[in-house]
């Protein structure tokens, strides 16, 4: 066994002595902590901890000791191997392009397994990068049929995460429930926020001075799950709705890429409808 870096993610109800109990186990196993971040959420009294350590890990044994010490905790112990992801798209290329370029040069800490599109529009672009493209059309199918087809395809890849890179169809709670805490979405957002069709047109008509984007987990109960990252860019009256949308696309692609990096580096814990981001 060779020494390597590992990340430990733990969340549970807070009580006195938790860090002591956890670090005691790591110490007894000759594992050296490089970085530790801990946070107790006041309202829920919930304990969140991310620990990066270095050493020779007997994973089964250490997990057994951790579970014995913290019987009610969620515990994830991970070597920093690249995650496997499938990207879902409709017709817009900007987020897909950002991810495919970074994937090709090993900058994602992830490996893109495939791209699924409900149109065939982005096939050529995807295949340029040597990535498989699956066209799963929704035409002539019920939502359930279409989603089942996608779900089966996703399950054949068994990805760590499913990235909605401007996938423009609403997913049913049944679909989302099959991939809990695994689906990440990017959507535009504004000050003030606009809902419904053609948000950039709405934003333009409202004369906003900022366009923005939000990357978030997709969960079952809410139209918008825990936020991972947000950013904005300035715009002005002289820009058309199309130019605002172009600015928005640049924000969207960077917010998505940065959010994914946090997720793939195991920095993001979910707490109810919020994220705790520990580095």
Q: Do you know the residue count of the chain?
A: 279
Other CB atoms within 10 A of residue 279 CB: 10
224-260 b/e (C-beta count within 10 Å ≥ 16 → b): ebbbbbebbeebeeebebeebbebbbebbbbbbbebb
Q: What is the DSSP string of 76-90?
A: EEEE-PPEEEEEEES
Helix axes 94-104, 241-264, angle to 10 degrees: 40
Q: Which is nearer to a copy of itself, 139 or 195 (CB)?
A: 195
CA torsion sign for 81, 159, 85, 51 is negative
Catalytic residue among 181, 223, 236, 250: 223
Q: Which is nearer to a copy of itself, 94 or 182 (CB)?
A: 94
Q: Shortest distance, CB of residue 110 to a copy of itself, whole angstroms?
A: 14
Distance of CA 186 to the CA centre of its chain: 9
Q: Shortest distance, CB of residue 238 to a copy of itself, whole angstroms?
A: 5
Active site residue 223: yes
Q: Which is nearer to a copy of itself, 80 or 246 (CB)?
A: 246
Q: Shortest distance, CB of residue 186 to a copy of itself, whole angstroms?
A: 13
The H or E element that residue 189 is part of is: strand 183-190
Q: Which is nearer to a copy of itself, 114 or 277 (CB)?
A: 277
Q: Shortest distance, CB of residue 232 to a copy of itself, whole angstroms?
A: 5
Q: Which is nearer to a copy of itself, 154 or 260 (CB)?
A: 260
Distance of CA 242 to the CA centre of its chain: 28
Q: Shortest distance, CB of residue 100 to a copy of itself, whole angstroms?
A: 9
Burial (CB count within 10 angstroms: exposed 0-12, middle 13-18, buried 19+), residue 148: middle
Q: Which residues are catalytically annotated? A: 223
């Amino acid at each position: 066994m060779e020494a390597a870096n590992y990340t430990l993610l733990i969340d549970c109800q807070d009580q006195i002595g938790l860090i002591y109990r956890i670090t005691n186990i790591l110490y007894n196993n000759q594992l050296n902590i490089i970085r530790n971040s801990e946070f107790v959420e006041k309202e829920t009294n919930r304990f969140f901890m991310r620990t990066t350590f270095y050493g020779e890990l007997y994973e089964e044994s250490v997990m057994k000791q951790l579970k014995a010490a913290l019987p009610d905790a969620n515990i994830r112990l991970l070597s920093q191997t690249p995650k496997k992801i499938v990207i879902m798209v409709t017709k817009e290329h900007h987020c897909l392009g950002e991810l495919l370029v970074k994937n090709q040069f090993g900058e994602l800490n992830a490996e893109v397994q495939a791209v699924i599109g409900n149109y065939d529009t982005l096939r050529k672009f995807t295949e340029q990068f040597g990535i498989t493209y699956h066209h799963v059309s929704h035409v002539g199918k019920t939502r359930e049929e279409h989603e089942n087809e996608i779900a089966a395809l996703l399950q054949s890849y068994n990805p760590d995460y499913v990235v909605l890179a401007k996938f423009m169809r609403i997913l049913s709670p049944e679909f989302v429930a099959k991939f809990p805490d695994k689906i990440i979405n990017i959507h535009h957002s504004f000050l003030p926020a606009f809902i419904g069709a053609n948000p950039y047109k709405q934003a333009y008509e409202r004369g906003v001075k900022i366009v923005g984007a939000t990357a978030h987990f997709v969960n079952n109960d809410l139209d918008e799950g825990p936020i991972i990252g947000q950013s904005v860019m300035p715009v002005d009256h002289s820009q058309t709705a199309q130019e605002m949308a172009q600015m928005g696309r640049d924000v969207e692609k960077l917010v998505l890429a940065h959010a994914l990096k946090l997720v793939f580096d195991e920095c993001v814990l979910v707490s109810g409808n919020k994220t705790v981001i520990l580095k």
